[in-house]
Chain A
Amino acid sequence: MNTVTLTLKKVPELYLECEQVTPDTFAGKTLDQIAGITGYHGKEMPTMGEYFTITGESGATAAETKIVVNGDCTKIKYLGAKMTAGEMVINSACDMYTGAWMKGGKLTVNGDVHSFCGLAMAGGEFIINGNAGNYLGAAYRGDWRGMSGGVLRVKGNAGSDVATFMTGGEMIIGGDVDIHLGTHMEGGKIILKGDANRRIGGQLVKGEIYVFGTINVMLPGYKPVGEVELEVDGTKAKFVDYIGDLGERHPKRKGETVYGHLYMKK
């Protein structure tokens, strides 16, 4: 695997939108060609070369290309968005849409990310070694297809509306979340190591949520049905099994109603 290293030269005055910074776009390109790729800065279309020092070499394909981004990326959007293969490491906090619509490969952010990251993620591995903002792994506005595959791991806390309309894949949050986790979920798995605020699993059709900490207010649509011993993300523990959201529709399989499950660690 070849590595291209981008080092930010100057912090953008507005926000810099870099949808093209992915292994998919960089693959097979020379450093000059990469430097010539444009982003958006408001209505300006600056080249990557204007903002980054670019070194290293890209691979022939996305899968053979690794991108390392250094410097203060807090005002950069869309890093790693839509990547399908290869690897990206961002050694900074970054802004919105990081890893959004990601389909494959591995994306690591060594810092915090803002909202709408991992939006509608379909595959690959996305690791956030910091805190995440709102709408992590959620669906784009209006879409009923949120995160559908892959693994999204947050070391710290995440904001509100995490995993809205999730249909598949796995999300692990090391810290706490704010309101509305897994709203409208229709598949997939969320593991929350810390505490949740309120409205967990509202309007949930299908899927599993594991909570190691506490929930501020449990929704009336959840009902405990027993206790189970489970191994969740490497931890063996006893959980109380709640089914729900009982206010929502649920599919039937072989005549049996399939409920969502909310497992609360005892």
Chain B
Amino acid sequence: MSEYIIRNGHVFDPVQGIKGDKKDIAVNDGKIVDKVGSGAKVIDAKDKTVMAGALEVHAHVAGPKVNAGRWYRPEDKHFDSHKKPGMTRIEGGKSIPTVFKTGYEYARLGFTFAMEAAMPPLYARHVHEEIHDTPIIDEAALPVFGNNWFILEYLKNQEIENTAAYIAWVLRQTKGYGVKCVNPGGTEAWAWGLNCLTIHDPVPYFDITPAEIITGLIKANEFLGLPHSMHLHQNDLGNPGNYKTTIDSLKLAENIKATNNFGREQVLHSTHIQFHSYKGTNWGDFESGAKEVMDYVNKQKNLTIDTGNVTLDETTTMTADGPFEHHLHGLNHLKWFNVDVELETAAGIVPFIYDPNNAVFASQWAVGLEIALYAKDPMRCFITTDHPNAGPFTRYPRVYSWLMSKKVRDERLNSFKKADKVISATTLQEIDREITLYELAAMTRAGPAKCLGLSKDYGGLKVGMNADIAIYNINPDKFPSDGPSIEKAFANVAYLFKDGKICVEEGKVVDMGHKQTFWVDAKVKENKQVMHDVREKFLRYYSVNEANYPVPESYAPHQHIISVDASGVR
């Protein structure tokens, strides 16, 4: 493998505390090294910004509902399907790009890793087929557990060890990465057309509450010592007044300590928290609850969050929160897709237009920015658009421009048709903070890597770490002052190194890299009870045989397996 020396770039690396100093970065054999020989290829990064490859902590990029969203929306790409010159394939789709476009676009934005945020275990093969076909970036997927019958039954009796053993079994069957929990209990209730809107609403038949599910999954996750924490999409998403349920849910993590060998400190990751930070009782008296939520988050060191920034586009919402999508369809009457998945979960899809002329959508936009701007510790708050729910990930450069420039975001804020209403319902106008490049590196690189338990090799530029490096045409000393220039600078990297290879050069894909699928192999003590239950459920309730459930090796030809051993835990 070739050697590189990236010279004279402004390096931003929270892992080493480097804040824009001019530094050379040496690369050899896929790793960042001390020094390289004189034959190393020189990359001139003068007047450029150098960061580690970014990590996407939460996006819907592969799997059954993502794909349904693609194919049932031909109108999303009828005018947006094209092939760029070079080695790439046809790239299609605005709100839900095809796998090819997903890989290329992430790479062009400087990303080297993306986490698929919700994998129904029964559909794991589908998720992996798409991951397999997504070029360049490394990916992993989180199986959903919050409405799984095994989990509901074990946690009803507080059987943490059985819960953990079952999780370990599922991770192995599905090549999954961690524990995702979406609208705990609410999605099972949805199988009867119902929902759980607070964490104390009982789940029909199973006689358990969302609070018990959340607590139990956090404990099981720590029992196993997984690299990532429990990853929660809370109850009552998107409704005015939900910030109380949000804080109630976060409180469940109090006094639980992270137990793992990966340097992860949080026990709960609360995702797209923008959608969960609303005050008021209806859309008329709606107000931002970002301050209240972030005050709590800032205090609690064992929490991480991601934002879920609304980008004000036409997009496609999709979530395992089935009842929410039904509710949304009732509001906008656009085509509704729903799938209930036996014993496990559900998913819904509805196209959505975040019209900036609408005060509610403009306020949601403001809440998302408030979340990030109120975050005291950028290592615990990550920027996402909950792609494609609040907007497509391809809009990250625009989100960055709003966060990094008060001028740019105030221009947007003040040009809303209902600007007065948005200004009075939120506190955004009062916030002067501008996210710095160093903070951005924490919110998109070092932070997510640590949160995912990958900080040993990813998210930084320390010697020995993986050579995933993004170089932007940004001179920190002359940071652009207008929105379009900031967007342009972040939209196409000057260079993207992935595993020490140049994959993107001035926005052009030049190499497909060595794409890997990450998954976690958790070892537990032999658990006869759980294996009996598995056999029983497959015999009686599943529609596939147990032997046809696992994801075969061939689906992930380049695996990056992270092993944990919980067989000694008691």
User: Residue-by-residue, is A230-251 near B (CB-CB < 8 Å gives 1, otherwise 0)?
Assistant: 0000000000000000000100
Cα distance, A144 to B75, chains bound together (Å): 9
Decide yes or no whether B46 CB sits under 8 A from chain A.
no
B75 near A141: Cβ-Cβ < 8 Å:
yes
A249: nearest chain-B partner, CB-CB: B333
Instruction: Report A-chain residues with C-beta under 8 Å of the C-beta of B78.
Output: 140-141
A145: nearest chain-B partner, CB-CB: B75
B335 near A140: Cβ-Cβ < 8 Å:
no
A142 near B72: Cβ-Cβ < 8 Å:
yes
Instruction: Report B-chain residues with C-beta under 8 Å of the C-beta of A141.
Output: 74-75, 78
Decide yes or no whether A44 CB sits under 8 A from chain B.
no
Decide yes or no whether B73 CB sits under 8 A from chain A.
yes
Decide yes or no whether A143 CB sits under 8 A from chain B.
yes
B333 near A143: Cβ-Cβ < 8 Å:
no
Instruction: Report B-chain residues with C-beta under 8 Å of the C-beta of A144.
Output: 334-335
Give A124-171 interface residues, CB cut-off 8 Å to B: 139-144
Cα distance, A143 to B74, chains bound together (Å): 8
User: Residue-by-residue, is B65-81 near A (CB-CB < 8 Å gives 1, otherwise 0)?
Assistant: 00000001111101000
Q: Which one of B72, B73, B75, B333 has the greatest number of beta carbons of chain A within 10 Å?
A: B75
User: Residue-by-residue, is B59-99 near A (CB-CB < 8 Å gives 1, otherwise 0)?
Assistant: 00000000000001111101000000000000000000000
Instruction: Report B-chain residues with C-beta under 8 Å of the C-beta of A143.
Output: 74-75
Cα distance, A141 to B77, chains bound together (Å): 11
Cα distance, A249 to B333, chains bound together (Å): 9
Nearest CB in chain B: distance from A12 CB, A: 23
Instruction: Report A-chain residues with C-beta under 8 Å of the C-beta of B76.
Output: 142
Cα distance, A249 to B331, chains bound together (Å): 12
B333 near A140: Cβ-Cβ < 8 Å:
no
Instruction: Report B-chain residues with C-beta under 8 Å of the C-beta of A140.
Output: 74-75, 78
B76: nearest chain-A partner, CB-CB: A142
B333 near A142: Cβ-Cβ < 8 Å:
no
Q: Give the contact-size bracket for chain A.
A: under 10
Q: Give the contact-size bracket for chain B.
A: under 10
User: Residue-by-residue, is B329-340 near A (CB-CB < 8 Å gives 1, otherwise 0)?
Assistant: 000011100000
User: Residue-by-residue, is B211-236 near A (CB-CB < 8 Å gives 1, otherwise 0)?
Assistant: 00000000000000000000000000
Cα distance, A140 to B74, chains bound together (Å): 8
User: Residue-by-residue, is A32-47 near B (CB-CB < 8 Å gives 1, otherwise 0)?
Assistant: 0000000000000000
Cα distance, A14 to B112, chains bound together (Å): 44
Nearest CB in chain B: distance from A235 CB, A: 35
Give B326-367 interface residues, CB cut-off 8 Å to A: 333-335
Chain A residues touching B, majority SS:
loop
Nearest CB in chain A: distance from B328 CB, A: 15
B77: nearest chain-A partner, CB-CB: A142
User: Residue-by-residue, is B172-204 near A (CB-CB < 8 Å gives 1, otherwise 0)?
Assistant: 000000000000000000000000000000000
Cα distance, A140 to B76, chains bound together (Å): 11
Nearest CB in chain B: distance from A122 CB, A: 14
Nearest CB in chain B: distance from A148 CB, A: 14
Cα distance, A144 to B74, chains bound together (Å): 11
Cα distance, A144 to B352, chains bound together (Å): 12
Cα distance, A140 to B333, chains bound together (Å): 18
Cα distance, A99 to B334, chains bound together (Å): 26
A142 near B74: Cβ-Cβ < 8 Å:
yes
Cα distance, A29 to B526, chains bound together (Å): 77
Cα distance, A142 to B75, chains bound together (Å): 6
Nearest CB in chain A: distance from B82 CB, A: 13
Cα distance, A139 to B334, chains bound together (Å): 14
A143: nearest chain-B partner, CB-CB: B75
Cα distance, A142 to B334, chains bound together (Å): 10
Instruction: Report B-chain residues with C-beta under 8 Å of the C-beta of A142.
Output: 72-76, 335
Nearest CB in chain A: distance from B317 CB, A: 15
Instruction: Report A-chain residues with C-beta under 8 Å of the C-beta of B75.
Output: 139-143
Cα distance, A139 to B78, chains bound together (Å): 12
Nearest CB in chain B: distance from A75 CB, A: 22
B78: nearest chain-A partner, CB-CB: A140
A144: nearest chain-B partner, CB-CB: B334
Instruction: Report A-chain residues with C-beta under 8 Å of the C-beta of B74.
Output: 140-143
User: Residue-by-residue, is B489-509 near A (CB-CB < 8 Å gives 1, otherwise 0)?
Assistant: 000000000000000000000
A186: nearest chain-B partner, CB-CB: B333
Instruction: Report B-chain residues with C-beta under 8 Å of the C-beta of A139.
Output: 75
Nearest CB in chain A: distance from B166 CB, A: 39
Cα distance, A142 to B78, chains bound together (Å): 10
Instruction: Report A-chain residues with C-beta under 8 Å of the C-beta of B334.
Output: 144
A120: nearest chain-B partner, CB-CB: B75
Nearest CB in chain A: distance from B241 CB, A: 25
Cα distance, A139 to B392, chains bound together (Å): 24
Nearest CB in chain B: distance from A262 CB, A: 21
A139: nearest chain-B partner, CB-CB: B75
Nearest CB in chain A: distance from B353 CB, A: 11
Cα distance, A139 to B75, chains bound together (Å): 9
Instruction: Report B-chain residues with C-beta under 8 Å of the C-beta of A249.
Output: 333
Cα distance, A141 to B73, chains bound together (Å): 8
User: Residue-by-residue, is A78-118 near B (CB-CB < 8 Å gives 1, otherwise 0)?
Assistant: 00000000000000000000000000000000000000000
Give B269-302 interface residues, CB cut-off 8 Å to A: none
Nearest CB in chain B: distance from A226 CB, A: 29
Cα distance, A207 to B333, chains bound together (Å): 17
Nearest CB in chain B: distance from A126 CB, A: 20
Q: Which one of A141, A142, A144, A249 has the greatest number of beta carbons of chain B within 10 Å?
A: A142
A251: nearest chain-B partner, CB-CB: B333
Cα distance, A142 to B77, chains bound together (Å): 11
Nearest CB in chain B: distance from A143 CB, A: 4
Cα distance, A19 to B76, chains bound together (Å): 20
B335: nearest chain-A partner, CB-CB: A144
User: Residue-by-residue, is B460-490 near A (CB-CB < 8 Å gives 1, otherwise 0)?
Assistant: 0000000000000000000000000000000
Cα distance, A144 to B334, chains bound together (Å): 8
B79: nearest chain-A partner, CB-CB: A101
Cα distance, A141 to B74, chains bound together (Å): 6
Cα distance, A143 to B79, chains bound together (Å): 12
Instruction: Report A-chain residues with C-beta under 8 Å of the C-beta of B72.
Output: 142
Cα distance, A241 to B333, chains bound together (Å): 27
Cα distance, A249 to B75, chains bound together (Å): 23
Cα distance, A140 to B75, chains bound together (Å): 7
Nearest CB in chain B: distance from A20 CB, A: 15
A101: nearest chain-B partner, CB-CB: B79
User: Residue-by-residue, is A244-262 near B (CB-CB < 8 Å gives 1, otherwise 0)?
Assistant: 0000010000000000000
Nearest CB in chain A: distance from B355 CB, A: 14
Cα distance, A143 to B333, chains bound together (Å): 13
Cα distance, A87 to B73, chains bound together (Å): 33
Q: A141-B75, A142-B73, A142-B76 are known contacts; what are 15 more A-B pairs with Cβ within 8 Å? A: A139-B75, A140-B74, A140-B75, A140-B78, A141-B74, A141-B78, A142-B72, A142-B74, A142-B75, A142-B335, A143-B74, A143-B75, A144-B334, A144-B335, A249-B333
- Chain A residues within 8 Å of B, Cβ to Cβ: 139-144, 249
Between-chain CB contacts (< 8 Å), 12 pairs: A140-B74, A140-B78, A141-B74, A141-B75, A141-B78, A142-B72, A142-B73, A142-B74, A142-B75, A142-B335, A143-B75, A144-B334
Kindly list the 9 A-B residue pairs having the minimum CB-CB distance in the complex, ordered from nearest.
A143-B75, A142-B74, A142-B75, A141-B74, A140-B75, A142-B73, A140-B78, A144-B334, A142-B72
